[in-house]
Structure 1
Amino acid sequence: MDLDAFVSAHYGEWEHLRALSSRRTLSGAGADELLDLYQRAATHLSLLRSAAPDPAVLQYLSTVLAKARTASLRRRTLSWSRVADFVVRDLPAVLYRTRWWWIGTALVNVVVAVLLGTWVARNPSVQTSFISPAAAQQLVNHDFSNYYSQYGGADFATHVWTNNVWVAALCIAFGVLGFPIAYVLWNNVVNVGVQGGIMVAYGHGSEFFGLILPHGILELTAVFVAAGSGLRLFWSWVEPGARTRADAMAHEGRSMVVVVLGLIGVLLVSGAIEAFVTPSGLPTFARVGIGVLAELAFLAYVFVLGRRAVREGFTGDVVAEDRSATRPTAA
């Protein structure tokens, strides 16, 4: 085969194929032409590989074919507009749509933690059932406050972030079964309630709240969102409504992926506050104020942007073309 003559004869249609592949939209005739040129170019590549395997020509034609293949399949790529849709519409929509699940979860957990902490603080015998007096002294005088300053800020923020993301992911993953979420939340409530009760009993209540509130308000909200979302996933197959259980669970499961991705960002913020604000030398009111502002910003994000997105028809699910077919059901 005369390589130069072969390239000269077909270079024009290869370039035309490349030009068609670069267009954002194609007419019906243009799409047919692209597929026809793609098949011909693929045949040319096969011939060149067997008869005249010049590396430069093979690389060029392979690149043209790869681009044409992508164009023919119309594979979507990540764009800034899609990222903006996720942040402004998809995430707040699913958080708003599931608000009663995570608000209810938060209220129950806060009430239980307060009751448990009060019980521990008022009963020395209960305190010793959890921790010895010597260990309690070590906790209130050293361990609790030192926890927030024993590592470098960046390292501590990373550690806290990954741990909290893992807890949130477990809550959503356990949503398929439902009941394990109660176990995860109970461990969290016991940890906060018992430590808070012991700190209050030993006269360190202001220190406890001054260190836990700056980051804990947003951090616990994220955990409650994850747990509430997991419970919503569980309920989707217990009570699917007019949909089949498979369709209801598929819809909620896809939405929960959005929640997981969103909580990564929320927990990154709370982790940064815990690492850099909580142990800082700022006055207690300033540190707590930063935590409150972060929480208010999150709630505004959910109830302002989320309400608007839901009214516009967003649910947090993927676009219709990416969903599997669903069976029709009676209303």
Structure 2
Amino acid sequence: MDLDAFVQTHAREWSRLEQLTRRRRLSAAEADELVSLYQQVATHLSVVRSAAPDPGLVQRLSMLVNRARQAVSGRREPVWHGVGRFFAVELPAALYRAGPATVAVALVFLLVAGASGWWVAATPEAQAGFGTPAQIRQLCDVEFAAYYSENPAASFAGLVWTNNAWIAAQSIAFGITGLFPAYVFLSNAVNVGATGGVMASCGNLGTFFSFITPHGLLELTAVFVALAAGLRLFWALVDPGPRPRVEALGAEGRAMIGIALGLVPVLFVSGLVEAYVTPAPLPTWARIAIGALVWAAFIAYAAVIGGRAVRRGETGDVRRETRGDLDLVAG
């Protein structure tokens, strides 16, 4: 099919349909014309998709047909419908699909952190990197616990939230490189493990876990999800499977960026727990129980709601009419 000739032949019809969809009121004749043009342009879209799938033209006609459909049906989808679908379908589906990679990242993280902690606890030379024996004792007995309460809770929660959200977003956005997620993963695992090792060398390992666990369950899980999402994007580039590489990257990229947006409120909650629950004058079991409760809610959201969405065929990608077209034009 000669695409240029096709566009030139039908451009007037497309322009007229666009004019009609933008009008608030239509006469009876214009309403009939709108329905007729809607049917014609829907056919044109089908022809272009099958015979000459130019991405720009397909996206233009898709949007035009979608507006015409809304005009014909007299129904506009409120913005909150899209937001609701994102949190009820797209985000949990994307989290569920990233689940196996998230579990793998978590297991390796724990192994690296454990090895780092054991090495620091057993090696005086490694402990010396944290300061003199007096400074290490001050860290173990005072500074570690004081870190969570030395600043006003509201400002501390905001600082923790924005810092973690930024790290998560970078891990996903730069995940295609494969290097940035690995760097974030290793640096965090080594730092967490080394801090635990220093606390263990002072006999304060219980204090370490009592302050890390309440917020760390949700916070570290969110970081693991971000790292897994970034690595999924990298893997789509390396092994796109039966899909064209551009299509695989587009689909995974949209779903993984959705995860980045979805982790913002999750990390906000973990920031609140870290600022208000972790340093609270409550029994250790109560603080850990609160942290475990919000963590379990997130796991259930991803596993139960996400699992149902995936079994219905959802992938975490946006709906077809809003994603454009990814087919390449030959020639």
TM-score range normalised by the length of the shorter chain? 0.7 to 0.9
Give the 3 Å change call, closer, same or farther, for CA 132–182 of structure 1 in structure 2. Answer: farther
Match of 2:196 in 1: 196
Match of 1:185 in 2: 185
User: Is 1:157–1:274's contact at 8 Å kept on the other side of the alignment?
Assistant: yes
Q: Matched residues in 1 for 2:223 and 2:135: separation?
A: 28
Q: Matched residues in 1 for 2:144 and 2:132: separation?
A: 15
User: Is 1:20–1:30's contact at 8 Å kept on the other side of the alignment?
Assistant: no
Q: Matched residues in 1 for 2:120 and 2:96: separation?
A: 36
**AA at the equivalent of 1:18:** R
Give the 3 Å change call, closer, same or farther, for CA 135–291 of structure 1 in structure 2. Answer: same
User: Is 2:90–2:314's contact at 8 Å kept on the other side of the alignment?
Assistant: yes
Give the 3 Å change call, closer, same or farther, for CA 145–173 of structure 1 in structure 2. Answer: same
Displacement after TM superposition at 1:20 (Å): 4.7
Give the 3 Å change call, closer, same or farther, for CA 157–73 of structure 1 in structure 2. Answer: farther
Q: Mind listing any 5+ residue stretches in structure 2 that lack a counterpart?
A: 1-22, 38-65
Deviations 1:206-232 (A, max 9, x none): 111111100011000000000000000
Q: Matched residues in 2 for 1:18 and 1:174: separation?
A: 44
**AA at the equivalent of 1:29:** E
Displacement after TM superposition at 1:124 (Å): 1.8
Match of 1:293 in 2: 293
Q: Matched residues in 2 for 1:71 and 1:325: separation?
A: 17
Q: Which has the higher contact order (CA 8 A, sep 6+)?
A: 2
What secondary structure is seen at the aligned counterpart in 2 of 1:151?
Answer: coil
Q: Matched residues in 2 for 1:196 and 1:28: separation?
A: 73
Q: Matched residues in 1 for 2:69 and 2:131: separation?
A: 63
Deviations 1:30-60 (A, max 9, x none): 4689xxxxxxxxxxxxxxxxxxxxxxxxxxx
Displacement after TM superposition at 1:313 (Å): 1.5
Match of 1:151 in 2: 151
Q: Matched residues in 1 for 2:90 and 2:250: separation?
A: 16
State which of 3, 15, 18 in structure 1 corresponds to 2:24: 18
User: Is 2:173–2:257's contact at 8 Å kept on the other side of the alignment?
Assistant: no
Which one has a bigger Cα radius of gyration? 1
Displacement after TM superposition at 1:95 (Å): 0.5
User: Is 1:254–1:318's contact at 8 Å kept on the other side of the alignment?
Assistant: yes
Match of 1:91 in 2: 91
User: Is 1:233–1:249's contact at 8 Å kept on the other side of the alignment?
Assistant: yes
Q: Matched residues in 1 for 2:277 and 2:251: separation?
A: 39
Displacement after TM superposition at 1:73 (Å): 10
Displacement after TM superposition at 1:321 (Å): 1.2
Give the 3 Å change call, closer, same or farther, for CA 146–73 of structure 1 in structure 2. Answer: farther
Match of 1:266 in 2: 266
Match of 2:82 in 1: 82
User: Is 2:130–2:136's contact at 8 Å kept on the other side of the alignment?
Assistant: no
Match of 1:121 in 2: 121
Residue 16 of structure 2 corresponds to residue 29 of structure 1: no
Q: Matched residues in 2 for 1:20 and 1:300: separation?
A: 49
What secondary structure is seen at the aligned counterpart in 2 of 1:191?
Answer: helix
Match of 2:283 in 1: 283
Displacement after TM superposition at 1:111 (Å): 1.3
Give the 3 Å change call, closer, same or farther, for CA 204–19 of structure 1 in structure 2. Answer: same
Displacement after TM superposition at 1:125 (Å): 2.3
Q: CA RMSD in A?
A: 2.5
What secondary structure is seen at the aligned counterpart in 1 of 2:278?
Answer: coil
Match of 1:13 in 2: none
State the identity %.
48
Give the 3 Å change call, closer, same or farther, for CA 293–20 of structure 1 in structure 2. Answer: farther
Displacement after TM superposition at 1:108 (Å): 0.3
Q: Matched residues in 2 for 1:111 and 1:125: separation?
A: 22
Displacement after TM superposition at 1:28 (Å): 4.8
**AA at the equivalent of 1:207:** T
What secondary structure is seen at the aligned counterpart in 1 of 2:243?
Answer: coil
Deviations 1:214-251 (A, max 9, x none): 00110000000000000000000100111111111111
What secondary structure is seen at the aligned counterpart in 2 of 1:87?
Answer: helix
Q: Matched residues in 1 for 2:242 and 2:181: separation?
A: 26
**AA at the equivalent of 1:120:** V
Residue 224 of structure 2 corresponds to residue 224 of structure 1: yes
User: Is 1:93–1:316's contact at 8 Å kept on the other side of the alignment?
Assistant: yes
Displacement after TM superposition at 1:29 (Å): 3.0
Displacement after TM superposition at 1:131 (Å): 3.6
Q: Mind listing any 5+ residue stretches in structure 1 that lack a counterpart?
A: 1-16, 34-69
